Amino acid sequence: MALILDDILREKSIQEICHKFRTNRGEIQALQVAIQSNAGMVAAFCGRLYWSDLSLLFQRVCDRLALSVSEELLDLTQLPSLKA
């Protein structure tokens, strides 16, 4: 699962990941949603403990998984003119 997450965060295509790990698209997407949910919970937990650096780190991972973008493009997705 960690290797699949690594490929997702490196922005490899879903088809390439499915072929590499011999799994189907639905399983990859379910894993992505589960990891995004867990990252959000860990970010909230860290925020409650005032661990702001860790909270920010996990929130960024959560946002990257939700939007499927690289770290460099994540800030651009926050611009109001780019929202749908």
Task: State yes or no: pLDDT of 80 exceeds 90.
Answer: no
Give 21-48 pLDDT, tens digit per residue.
Answer: 999 999 999 999 999 999 999 999 999 9
65: left (phi over 0), alpha (psi -120 to 50) or beta: alpha
* Structure tokens, 74: 């994540």
pLDDT of residue 19: 95
Domains of the chain: which residue ranges?
Answer: 2-82
